[in-house]
Amino acid sequence: MAEIFFDKDADLTLLQEKTIGIIGYGNQGRAQALNLKDSGLKVIVGNQEDEYAAAARQDGFQVLAVSAAVAQADVLLLLVPDEILPSLFAHEIKPHLTQGKTLVFASGYNVYYRQIEPPPYVDVVMIAPRMIGTGVREGYLNGKGFPSLIAVDHDHSGQALSITLAVAKGIGSTRGGAFMSSFAEETICDLFNEHFGYLYALRRAYDVLREAGCSPESILLEFYASGEEMELARAHYEIGLWHQLPLHSHTSQYGQEVTSRLSPAEEEQERARLRRVVENITSGQFAKDWALEQQAGNPVWKRLRAQNLEHPMIVEERKLYRRLGRIAPE
């Protein structure tokens, strides 16, 4: 069972004499920087000169080039996209690292796949919020916080976990619970959630219902366009996946628990498919495919994105959303 840390387990004073560098002022960067500042800590921002740097200055932060921020900061929160970080790390971060600094990764991806290999004289830890940036900020402001997965990959200082918990407290995560994990576990779970096929499953279901003669409007409203799924997701969060079932009619409960259950053979077939998804992640094949795709200019992704947006389901979705006034008419 994973160990959970809360506010009482973290000591914010460990950071009071340190400078925290936020590398990247996007959604997560802005939210975590503001939360740390509101926690009374010294925060600087490392970012290239663009609209994000301008936003950071408007929020009251000192903004430096990434290399300068790395040189000044004691604790570095690396909050740029996974695909950008390796090059940035090699050219603007690693050359300016000195003994005793702490690198805080927001995901396990680059360390797990060894696309980044930090030097041995720094702490290497992870704080991976299970929340988008706006939720990180909102959770801090409303006092509820948000959960994160944390990990220590390399403890040079002997204080890596304590520093990790202090940062987690500073951004508001120990209010919601900081769960001990690993760089590998975070990467596998995160990628699996993105790879197991939810969007395509919905689209297959749409196609089958259209074949059965149902209107696009009825299908889309049933699946997600009504907003009911948002309320169900809240119930999942507040009550639990199975314990929210009594909120539905008996007919609905029977359908979800009995009728939709796969046969043993179908269940094993689906588990086998999901195991292949995991194998693609843990073998490193996905990381290789993604790296090659980026080097080629993302041709497969662009082609499939164009095809997906032209699918009849999405064409009908756009029509419905225009009729409902959610998007502007063509």
Listing DSSP states for 184-247 in one string gives HHHHHHHHHHHHS-HHHHHHHHHHHHHHTT--HHHHHIIIIITSHHHHHHHHHHHT-TTTTGGG
Distance in angstroms (rounded) separating the CA atoms of residues 181 and 1? 10
Segment 273-291 mean pLDDT: 98
Distance in angstroms (rounded) separating the CA atoms of residues 76 and 98? 12
135-182, pLDDT tens digit by residue? 999 999 999 999 999 999 999 999 999 999 999 999 999 999 999 999
Q: Is the pTM of this model over 0.85?
A: yes
Domain boundaries, the chain: 4-181, 191-323
Q: What is the pLDDT of residue 330?
A: 79
190-225, pLDDT tens digit by residue? 999 999 999 999 999 999 999 999 999 999 999 999
Confidence of residue 307 (pLDDT cuts 50, 70, 90): very high
Q: What is the pLDDT of residue 21?
A: 98
CATH code reported for the domain at 4-181: 3.40.50.720
Distance in angstroms (rounded) separating the CA atoms of residues 22 and 39? 15
53-109, pLDDT tens digit by residue? 999 999 999 999 999 999 999 999 999 999 999 999 999 999 999 999 999 999 999
pLDDT for 329 beyond 90: no
Quick one: tokens of 275? Answer: 């195991």
- Percent of the chain whose pLDDT exceeds 90: 99
1-24, pLDDT tens digit by residue? 899 999 999 999 999 999 999 999
Q: What is the pLDDT of residue 1?
A: 86
Taking every pair of Cα atoms in the chain, the longest distance, rounded to a whole number of angstroms, is 67
Q: How far is CA 122 from CA 32, 100, 125, 170, in A?
A: 22, 5, 10, 21
Q: What is the pLDDT of residue 321?
A: 97
Alpha helices in the chain (DSSP H): 27-38, 51-58, 66-72, 85-88, 109-112, 133-142, 160-171, 183-195, 198-211, 216-220, 228-238, 250-254, 264-282, 285-295, 299-310, 312-323
